[in-house]
Structures are given as C-alpha cells and as structure tokens.
Amino acid sequence: MWFFRSPEIVFGDGALERLSEIQGRCALIVTDANIMSLGLAEPVRRRLEAAGLTVRLFTEVEPDPSLDLVRRGAAIARECSPDWIVGLGGGSCLDAAKAIWIGYERPDLEPDAIGPVGTLGLRQKARLVAIPTTSGTGAEVTWPIVLTDAAEQRKVSVGHPENTPDLAIVDPALVRDLPPQITAETGLDVLTHAIEGYTCAWANDFSDGLCLQAARMVFEYLPRAYRHGAQDPLAREKMHNAATLAGLGFGNAMAALAHALGHALGAVLHLPHGRMVGLCLPYTMEFTAGGDAPTRYQELARSLGFTGAASPGDDAATALAAAIRDLARSVDQPLCLRDAGFGDDAFAAALDDLTAAALMDSTIILGPRYPSEEEVRQLLGCIHCGDPATF
C-alpha cells in the first residue's frame, strides 16, 4: 500500500496572505537570527496578529539544528501552548519546527527517537505551517527531519509521515533577495531531489511527473535566477515552485546515493547541504549507470532533451552527468572537492569518517546500485579529485 502525502500548498505572489485567514489562539514562529535581521518574520507576524493570534517567537535555530536546540524549542512551546507552530526559514528552520512540534506534542519522545513506524498522535495540541525562505530543500512539504548529534558529529535522520506540515506557503517575495551563492547551491539541491526522486527504488507514478517538471524548471530557470536575482521575478518564482515540486516528488519517493554522500560531507566537513549533494550527483549517476541494475537515466535524459531516444542507458547517464556539470559551472559551483578548497591531506585524513558516515546514511540503499565500503571510498576519491566515477 502506497501513500501520497502533501500539505495544502499556497503559492505565487501574495501567498503569505493566507496567514491572515488562519483560525486559532496562539502561534509560535520557529526561525533564526538571520531571518529576523532580514525582516522576514515581520510580515508573518503581522498577518498572524491580523488573524487574531498571539504570536511568540523562537529565534535560536542554528544551521544543522542539534538535538539540544530541539529540546529547548519544545520546552518553549510547552510554556506558551500554541495551537500553531510556524516554521519560517531555510531547511534548518523548517526541520527544527517539525521536531519542536513533535517534542511539544510528545514530551515523552526524545528527538533522536522519532521513527517512521507506528502512530505519533500529532495534532492534539497544534498544527504546522511551513514557510520556506530558500528555494531548495522542499522541507515545507516533506516529513523527514535532519538533525545533528553535535557530540558525535553526525547527522540524524528522523521523522514520521504524520509530521508532514498542514500548510505550506510558497511565496516568491520571501526569496526575492537571496544571495547568488545560496541561489546556486539550493537550486542544485532541487535538481538532486528531482533526479534522485525519479531514479530511486521507490519512484512511483505519483512522484514521477513532479520530479520531471522540477528538473526541467531547474535547467531553465536556475541560471537566470542566479544571474539576475530580484531583477528576474519569473525565474525566482519558478525556482521557488520547482523546490516545492521536487520536495513533493522525492518526499513521496526517496533520495539516494548523492544524498548519502552529501550528508556525510556536510556532517564531517561542515559544508552546505545543497553544494555537497549537487557536487556528488553526477558522480553517483556515473557509478550507478556502471552497475547491472536497470536505471531510468535514459528515460530521464530523453524527457529533458539531453540525448536521442536511441542512446543506450550508460550514454544517457553520461549525457545527463555532463549537463549537470555544465549547469553547475554556469552558476559558478565547484565540480570536485579540490575545487571547493578541500586539500589532499585534509581529504585523506577525513576519508575513514566520511566513508563510515555515508554507509550509515539510510538513503544509501535506495539507489539502483548499492556500493560496497570499498566503492564508497573510491567514489569519494573521484568526488575529491574530479575523475569520472566509471568503475
């Protein structure tokens, strides 16, 4: 039995207005200091107050939110008893909001013990609104939560389908002034979600169309959004929608090997998620296409117009990987870890930890080709020096 999960999604210019129709007593906005200083919390607060709600703020979210941060946020929620939790920000804020909401409803559950089976029994106290201020993670429509165990320096993937937000507000006004670097790396995250969602083991009829459309939109609009920013509102809006479409797609299928390796690089090297998964993607496609398992790269490359219908599967993967590298180059992103400033000695010193972290990541088993430990090391070596992963 399969499910397709989605919040109510309000999108396009003026989507934020939906907040002034919300019914309730009290809202807790979960966000970070950067969003506060950019003034993005103010229009949210204003509309919630116009709807008659008392508004409280928890502004301590940090990048890669820790288990402790979630415990602190849940304690604040229990203190002010909101009937709405409003996550506002990038993926870290939205993931923190989900975990804080669960901690508020289920104080008996430690944040790293939130698993996908059984019943959580949410929505006894509050519901969740997610408002993204980057066009990347798709966390406004998905349920997995990535937290960081600071003591053990590793990412912890938790979450339950019940913690899918109730309402996602995808308003392009909130991403109008994103800096170019964040536009580029979050945009490559969108592409990785779309391609892994389309080609992973759990791809399905309901997620395919969303992933395809999101991938098309990234190839068309990411270079424009990167180059012109606020001067190209159409490209901004399309990238914002593409992030949510890809979120719905991979959120109802899964991510795969580029995310396993990207999570490992993010946790060990403290580099941004989108930059890392986007950097890994063409290598993991080359590796996957070199195995025996059937892949869908040919179908995907043909749909995106990167190869003729007669190209064999591995050629399709090569053509797609080349197109992804061209796209990354066009938005000035590194194509290997060396380009990203990660030297040979530092890489050699980190390789064991990186390999162990990747092998522990749950997404590693969801691609068509499952790598051995030695193959993970080899793949990381290619990602470091820029050699194609054709083994």
Which residue ranges make up the site for Zn ion (CB under 5 A)? 189
| Minimum distance, C-beta of residue 197 to Zn ion, in the bound complex (Å) | 10
Best CA proximity match to 88, nearest among 111, 59, 56: 59
C-beta closer to Zn ion: residue 57 or 360: 360
Smallest separation (angstroms) from Zn ion to the CB of 119? 27
Residue closer to Zn ion by CB (options 229, 249) is: 249
Element at 30 (helix H, strand E): strand 26-30
C-alpha–C-alpha distance, residues 239 and 248, integer Å: 14
Q: Smaller CB distance to Zn ion: residue 53 or 158? A: 158
Token couple for 59: 């502004």
Q: Residue 106 or 155: which CB sits closer to Zn ion?
A: 155
Identify which of 116, 52, 41, 36 has the alpha carbon closest to the alpha carbon of residue 86: 41
CB of 334 to Zn ion, least distance (A): 17
Task: Give me the residue label for tokens 């508004």.
Answer: 55
Strands 167-170 and 154-158, bridge-based pairing: unpaired
Q: DSSP letter string over 294-335?
A: --SHHHHHHHHTSS-TT--HHHHHHHHHHHHHHHHHHTT--S
Identify which of 116, 185, 205 has the alpha carbon closest to the alpha carbon of residue 331: 185
Neighbours of 326 (CB within 10 A): 12
Residue 273: CB minimum distance to Zn ion, A: 6
Q: Which is closer to Zn ion, CB of 77 or CB of 271? A: 271
Backbone phi, psi, residue 201, to 5°: -65, -25
CB nearer to Zn ion: give 185 or 189.
189
Torsion sign (Cα): 86, 90, 93, 94: positive
To Zn ion, the closest distance from the beta carbon of 357 in angstroms equals 16
In the complex, the smallest distance separating the C-beta of residue 173 from Zn ion, rounded to whole angstroms, is 24
- Closer CB to Zn ion, residue 126 or residue 265? 265
Rounded to the nearest whole angstrom, what is the least distance from the CB of residue 211 to Zn ion in the complex?
13
Please check whether residue 87 is in contact with residue 98, taking contact to mean a CB–CB distance below 8 angstroms: yes
Nearest residue to Zn ion, using CB?
Answer: 189
Whether 163 and 198 have beta carbons less than 8 Å apart is answered as no
Residues with Cβ within 8 Å of 350's Cβ and at least 6 positions away in sequence, in order, are: 268, 269
Q: Closer CB to Zn ion, residue 288 or residue 307?
A: 288
Residue 145 DSSP symbol: E
CB of 271 to Zn ion, least distance (A): 13
* H or E element at residue 54: strand 54-58
End-to-end CA distance of the chain: 36
